Amino acid sequence: MSIVGKSEIRVDAFDKATGRTKYYEDRIPGGALYVRIKHAEIAHGFVKSVDTSEAERIKGVVKVLTCFDVPEIDFPTAGHPWSMDPGHQDVADRRLLNRHVRYWGDDVAVVIAQDEVAAMQGVRAIKVEYEALPFVLDAQKAMEDGAPQLHENAPHNILKHTSIRKGNYEEAIKEPGLIKVEGWYNTPTVQHCHIENHGCYAYEENGRITVVSSTQIPHIVRRVVGQALGRPWADIEIIKPYIGGGFGNKQDALYEPLCAWCSTQVGGRLVRIDCSREETFVSNRVRHAIRFHITSWIRPDGSMAARKVDLFSNQGAYASHGHSIVAKAMGSFPQLYPCDNMECDAYTVYTNIPAAGAMRGYGMPQASFANDSNIDECAHAIGMDPVEYRDRFIMPKGFEDGFSKNVNYYDSHRECLEKGKELIDYDRKKAEFALDKGPVRRGIGCASFWYNTAVWPIALETTSNRMLLNLDGTVTMQCGETEIGQGADTAFAQMAAQAIGLKNYRDVHVISCQDTDITPTGLGAYASRQTYVAGFSIRQTAEILRKKIFEYANKLTRQSVDNMDIVDGNVVRKGDGKVLISLKELAMTAQYNQQDSEHITAESTFTIQNNAYSFGCTFAEVEVDIPMCKVTVKNIVNVHDCGTLINPALAEAQVHGGMSMAIGYGLSEQLLFDQKTGRPLNNNLLDYKLSTFMDHPDLEAAFVENPEPTSVFGTKALGEPPACSGAPAIRNAIYNATGVALRTLPMNPHNLFAAFTEAGLIRDSFEEGK
């Protein structure tokens, strides 16, 4: 009886449907002091002095601390596993509060007060004197000679530059008859917009510091807090309760270090930091705006002779995840549409905007937009249908990546394209829409994406698990991987129930809350790796638990350990299936045996040295009102090969969410900054336009289930992939409808007006048929 593969209801659904689920803010004990942050109101400069006297006089204010008070320790924030190799450690470039202000919104001081009002009044009363410096908001401008310098050890503001060289590009482009398809592709700064803002609270106990935080990565945050405060890492305990979404923003140490330090400054008292929505947009993390320049040289048959790709990634003020993101983006180019002669250069550049970190897709929504836009233009250049073009030139079955050792075991891309084509009725619609000549035209398009499941071999891939056999025959399980809304706990329960041999996934109680003092070490939620990596430690730990169960059962039943199995929560004899003893009876007997008592538990760590491709595509159908510069998505389908589905209903829901995010990325989202001051302009949910209920049609998620051979349960990445190919699919549908090759996201009326005007589609009067 398979438990994996069934659309079970989430293990946390009841609590969430009744409102009893407790997020960090719901757990804060009474009497916490409020920490509120004074954010810089210049984009670049130095704090000369801070006058705290007025703030300190406000009733209820306990303490005011400034950038002159913090430890002189630079620390990193990225949610990457620690590397023992100093060359691979994350860049340490910020302090708890910063004298060198590097963006509008940087943290320069805090007020700790007895209530929120006093804390906020205190923040307003702080007077900061700055030495303002010139600032730069654009990545390429920041690389120019004479540009304002953000960090001493990053000349021309370049945090890192890496390259790919394959074949001989310069020679290859000399081939006669090549067609050049070239363009700049621009992606904007956007934000995660999880509905729960980040927040945390901290206190000292027995000489150690506890931080309860809305984070995806408790074990990593523990290390970062230790680093930032200059304390032994074991002095820090991080507790992660349920969180209201993360999408990568909370895959960074955000305000946990500052909160922990503030507690130490008031005698270990309980302090809380709660980000407002406005702070979340600016003073947490954002997605990198990456600008691409692509030059493709194709033969008349469409085959790619040579390709050059330059990528400029706007890192913002601090390194956070830094170059990893654009490096992943760059790495997709030689793989998705393989080409023998390639030159790629990726730059990650500091600028005076908010720090960019991980966000769902980790460089791939950007790369997919640029790559699959350019690919559509290649198809157009030789008059080939864009789906057919992909079908011919996309990564073939059997493709192996030398670095990750990933193999495209199946013909995933083509299978996904074929399915998407059928589901959206591509051929018929394309022919029908071609007849549209008026001001409102329909179009259809697609885009594929490339994705990896985990981070091996770039970084450590480890997973730990603990199982306790309960007296009723159920199992309590702790995982280092975290539930952040995606449904991980449910998938883990299903996998564990199957691996142990329990009757129902409800017989596994996943302790959702991670506590670094108690929970076995795992790395948390990122890279769409959780189901894949947790599978390894779940199976291994289940095997250990089963062995211990069999050994005890042997004492009670005389049957050979090798002749036992667990089926539906009973230990059975393999030969005839006879029930030897139920797990409940076994657990009770083992626990209360006066001569030989045992609490049957198992624990193990697994190091993964594999990774897995996870592929798919989006098909979109749009209606473009040219004079109104408005795009309506009429139909959208995502097809994924994420291997075997553990829980089809949850998988579908995960895809819906990614599609919605991709639609927002394509059509409306961008965080804007005043070019004259660097001040953020729309850091709120009214002026920043994420997709609402009204902005998309019904979302269709489909799957090609090719079991991943390296994976315990045949599964691979699905968390981030759904957010990758939506925007370029919409873009290509608009291209199909209008013939206008848009190259800048978002494709909002503002950008469409410029593009349509340039293309001559918008004139004073609209002439039918032209």
Q: Which residues bind other proteins (CB under 8 A)?
A: 7, 9-10, 12-23, 25-26, 117, 192-197, 242-245, 247, 276-277, 484-487, 649-650, 652-654, 656-661, 684-686, 690-694, 696, 698-699
Quick one: which H or E segment has residue 421? helix 412-424
Nearer to other proteins, 359 or 600 (CB): 359
Place of tokens 């789906």: 387
The nearer residue to other proteins, 537 or 725, going by C-beta atoms, is 725
Other C-beta atoms within 10 Å of 105: how many? 25
Instruction: Report the nearest approach of other proteins to the CB of residue 656 (Å).
Output: 3
Q: Say which residue the tokens 């304390």 belong to.
A: 231
Answer whether 444's CB lies under 8 Å from 515's CB: no
| CA–CA distance, 519 with 445 (Å, rounded to integer) | 46
In degrees and rounded to multiples of 5, residue 2 shows phi and psi of -90, 130
Residue 614: CB minimum distance to other proteins, A: 19
Query: Is the CB of residue 617 less than 8 Å from the CB of residue 639?
Result: yes
User: CB of 764 within 8 A of CB of 468?
Assistant: no
Minimum separation from the CB atom of position 485 to other proteins (A)? 3
- Residue 599's Cβ-count burial label (10 Å; 0-12, 13-18, 19+) is exposed
Nearer to other proteins, 376 or 489 (CB): 489
**Strand, helix or coil at 643?**
strand
Place of tokens 């108690």: 518
Cβ 14 to other proteins shortest distance, Å:
7
Two tokens at 157?
A: 């503001």
Minimum distance, C-beta of residue 490 to other proteins, in the bound complex (Å): 10
Nearer to other proteins, 326 or 717 (CB): 717
Q: Check if the beta carbon of residue 368 is closer than 8 Å to that of residue 662.
A: no
Non-local CB neighbours of 760 within 8 Å, separated by 6+ positions: none
Nearer to other proteins, 197 or 406 (CB): 197
169 vs 247, beta carbon nearer other proteins = 247
* DSSP secondary structure of 705-764: ----TTSTTSB---SSGGGTSHHHHHHHHHHHHH-----BS---HHHHHHHHHHTT---S
Closer CB to other proteins, 17 or 561, in the complex: 17
Taking the least distance from each CB to other proteins, the nearer of 660 and 725 is 660
At its nearest, how many Å lie between other proteins and the CB of residue 615? 21
User: Position of tokens 């994976």?
Assistant: 711
93 vs 279, beta carbon nearer other proteins: 279
Cβ within 8 Å of residue 13, ≥6 positions away: none
In order of 200, 424, 433, 664, 725, the CA distances from 734 in angstroms are 43, 16, 11, 15, 14
**If you search the block for the tokens 């509008």, which residue do you land on?**
104
Provide the minimum distance between the beta carbon of 32 and other proteins in the complex, in angstroms, as a whole number: 12
Q: Which is nearer to other proteins, 16 or 428 (CB)?
A: 16
Provide the pairing of β-strand 475-479 with 508-510.
parallel
Rounded to the nearest angstrom, the gap between the alpha carbon of residue 620 and the centroid of all alpha carbons in its chain is: 23
Provide, rounded to whole angstroms, the least separation between the CB of residue 109 and other proteins: 22
Q: Which is nearer to other proteins, 277 or 299 (CB)?
A: 277
Give 643's strand partners: 715
Q: How far is the CB of 595 from other proteins (least distance, A)?
A: 42
Residues in the chain: 770
Residue with tokens 């968390």: 719
Q: How far is the CB of 692 from other proteins (least distance, A)?
A: 5
Residue pair 715/650 in contact by the 8 Å Cβ criterion? no
Query: What gap in Å lies between CA 701 and CA 515, rounded to an integer?
Result: 35
Instruction: List Cα–Cα distances, 605 to 221, 462, 646, in angstroms.
Output: 20, 7, 22
The residue among 19 and 575 lying less far from other proteins, judged by its C-beta, is 19
For 612, the 3-state DSSP assignment is: coil
Smallest gap, in angstroms, from Cβ of residue 696 to other proteins?
7
Q: Which residue has the tokens 């193999």?
A: 407
Residue 106's contacts (CB-CB under 8 Å, 6 or more residues apart) are 39, 40, 98, 283, 317
Least distance in angstroms from the C-beta of 525 to other proteins = 11
Least distance between other proteins and beta carbon 495 (Å)? 18
Taking the least distance from each CB to other proteins, the nearer of 669 and 708 is 669
Of 5 and 627, the one with the shorter C-beta distance to other proteins is 5
The pairing of strands 615-625 and 601-607 is unpaired
Distance CA 247, CA 365 (A): 13
Please give the Cα distance from 436 to 238 (Å, whole number).
59
| Least distance from other proteins to the Cβ atom of residue 54, Å | 21
CB of 728 to other proteins, least distance (A): 18
In terms of CB distance, is 442 or 696 closer to other proteins? 696
